Amino acid sequence: MRKGIVQLVAIGVVIGVLVTLVAVLFQWLPTSASEEFDRIQDIYWFATIMSIVIFSVVAAVVVYSVWTWRVPDDDDLDGPPIHGNTGLEIAWTAVPAILVIALGIVSAVVLSQNGEAGNRPLEVKAIGQQFAWKFEYSDYGDFTTGELVLPVNREARFTMEAVDVIHSFWVPNFGQKMDAVPGIETSILVTPTRTGEFAVVCAELCGLGHATMRAKARVVTRAEFDEWVKEKRA
Amino acid sequence: MTVSHSDTPHAEYPPHFEPPHGSTWKFFFGPGLVRGGWMAGVGFVLGTLLVLALRRWWGWEPYWLTEVILVVGGMVATPIGFLGGIGAFDYWLHYISGRPTRPEDHSGHGARTWRDYFRVNTDHKVIGVQYLVTTFVFFTIGGLMAMFFRAELAQPGLQFVDSQTFNGLVSMHATLMIFLFIIPAFAGLANFAVPLMLGAPDMAFPRLNALSFWLLPIAGVMFLASFIAPGGAFGAGWTGYAPLAEGQPLGQTFFNMGVQWAGASSILTALNFLVTIITMRAPGMTFWRMPLLVWANFTTSLLVVIATPFIAGSQFFVMFDRIMHTSFFTPEGGGYVLGYQHIFWFYSHPAVYIMMLPGFGIVSEVISSMSRKPIFGYRLMALSLMGILVLGFSVWAHHMFVAGMADWLRVPMMITTLLIAIPTGIKVFSWTATLWRGRIHLNTPMLFALGFLTMFVIGGLSGIYLGSVPIDIAASDTYFIVAHIHYVLFGGSVFTIFAGIYYWFPKMTGRMYNERLGKWHFWLTFVSFNATFFPMHYVGLRGMPRRVFDYDSAFGDLNFVISIASFVLGASFIVFVYNMITSWANGPIADANPWRAHTLEWQVSSPPPIFNFDEIPQVVGGPYEYGVPGARHAVMSPAKEAEEVHA
Ligand code: HEM
Ligand SMILES: [Cu+2]
Ligand SMILES: [Cu+2]
Kindly state whether residue B68 falls inside one of the protein's structural domains: no
Residues contacting residue A74 through CB under 8 Å, at least 6 positions apart: none
- As a whole number, the mean pLDDT across chain B is 91
Q: How many domains does chain B have?
A: 1
Closest CB to A203: pick one of B436, B453, B477: B477
* Number of Cβ within a 10 Å radius of residue B89: 18
The answer to which of B59-63, B140-144, B268-272, B366-370 has the lowest mean pLDDT is B59-63
What confidence tens digit (pLDDT) does each residue in B232-255 have?
Answer: 899 999 999 989 999 999 999 999
- Residue B487 above 50 pLDDT? yes
CATH of the domain at B360: 1.20.210.10
In this prediction, residue B297 has a pLDDT band, given cuts at 50, 70 and 90, of very high
- B541 touching A, CB under 8 A? yes
Strand partners, A135: A126, A145
Query: What own/partner pairs with CB < 8 Å and gap ≥ 24 does A112-120 have?
Result: A113/A39, A114/A36, A114/A39, A114/A40, A114/A176, A114/A189, A114/B470, A115/A189, A115/B407, A116/A189, A117/A155, A117/A157, A117/A189, A118/A155
Q: Which atom of ligand 1 is nearest to the CA of B476?
A: 16
* Number of Cβ within a 10 Å radius of residue B271: 17
pLDDT, mean of residues B124-137: 96
Collect all residues of chain B within an 8 Å Cβ-Cβ radius of residue A186.
404
Q: State residue B99's pLDDT score.
A: 79
In this prediction, residue B7 has a pLDDT band, given cuts at 50, 70 and 90, of very low
Please give the distance, rounded to the nearest whole angstrom, from the Cα atom of residue B151 to the centre of ligand 1.
26
What ipTM was assigned to the predicted interfaces of this complex?
0.96
pLDDT, mean of residues B90-94: 86
In this prediction, residue B615 has a pLDDT band, given cuts at 50, 70 and 90, of confident
- Domain borders along chain A are 2-68+95-114, 122-233
Strand partners, A137: A124, A143
Amino acid at position B590, single letter: A
In this prediction, residue B19 has a pLDDT band, given cuts at 50, 70 and 90, of low
Residues contacting residue B354 through CB under 8 Å, at least 6 positions apart: B183, B186, B266, B300, B303, B304, B307
With CB atoms and an 8 Å threshold, state whether B468 touches A204: no
- B552 touching A, CB under 8 A? yes
pLDDT, mean of residues B437-458: 96
Collect all residues of chain A within an 8 Å Cβ-Cβ radius of residue B516.
none
Instruction: Please identify, in words, the CATH class of the domain defined by A122-233.
Output: mainly beta
Please give the distance, rounded to the nearest whole angstrom, from the Cα atom of residue B608 to the centre of ligand 2.
54
* Number of Cβ within a 10 Å radius of residue A229: 17
Hey, which of B399, B456, B468, B478 would you mutate to test ligand 1's pocket, going by the most ligand atoms within 8 Å of its Cβ?
B399
> Does the beta carbon of B492 lie inside 6 Å of ligand 1?
yes
Q: State residue B4's pLDDT score.
A: 40
**Which of B57-61, B517-521, B611-615 is the most confident on average?**
B517-521
pLDDT, mean of residues B28-51: 93
Kindly state whether residue B640 falls inside one of the protein's structural domains: no
Kindly state whether residue B33 falls inside one of the protein's structural domains: no
Q: State residue B157's pLDDT score.
A: 87
Write out chain A in H/E/C secondary structure: CHHHHHHHHHHHHHHHHHHHHHHHHCCCCCCCCEHHHHHHHHHHHHHHHHHHHHHHHHHHHHHHHHHHHECCCCCCCCCCCCCCCHHHHHHHHHHHHHHHHHHHHHHHHHHHHHCCCCCCCEEEEEEEECCEEEEEEHHHCCEEECCEEEECCCCEEEEEEECCCCEEEEEHHHCEEEEECCCCCEEEEECECCCEEEEEEECCCCCCCHHHCEEEEEEECHHHHHHHHHHHHC
Collect all residues of chain A within an 8 Å Cβ-Cβ radius of residue B335.
183
With CB atoms and an 8 Å threshold, state whether A28 touches B541: yes
Q: How far apart are CA B110 and CA B209, in angstroms?
A: 13
Rounded to a whole number of angstroms, the distance between the first and last alpha carbons of chain A is 81
| Cα B131 from chain centre | 9
Kindly state whether residue B374 falls inside one of the protein's structural domains: yes
Domain range enclosing B579: 116-586
Query: Measuring from atom 23 of ligand 1, which residue has the nearest CA?
Result: B463
- B428 touching A, CB under 8 A? yes
Kindly state whether residue B64 falls inside one of the protein's structural domains: no
- Residue B643 above 60 pLDDT? no
Q: State residue A1's pLDDT score.
A: 67
pLDDT, mean of residues B485-500: 96
Kindly state whether residue B635 falls inside one of the protein's structural domains: no
Q: State residue B472's pLDDT score.
A: 96
Residues of chain A with pLDDT under 70: 1
Q: State residue B109's pLDDT score.
A: 84
Share of chain B above pLDDT 90, in %: 81
> Does the beta carbon of B385 lie inside 6 Å of ligand 1?
no
- Residue B639 above 80 pLDDT? no
pLDDT, mean of residues B111-135: 91
Strand partners, A157: A123, A189
Interface test with A, best of B332, B541, B624, B628 (most A CBs within 10 A): B541
pLDDT, mean of residues B109-115: 83
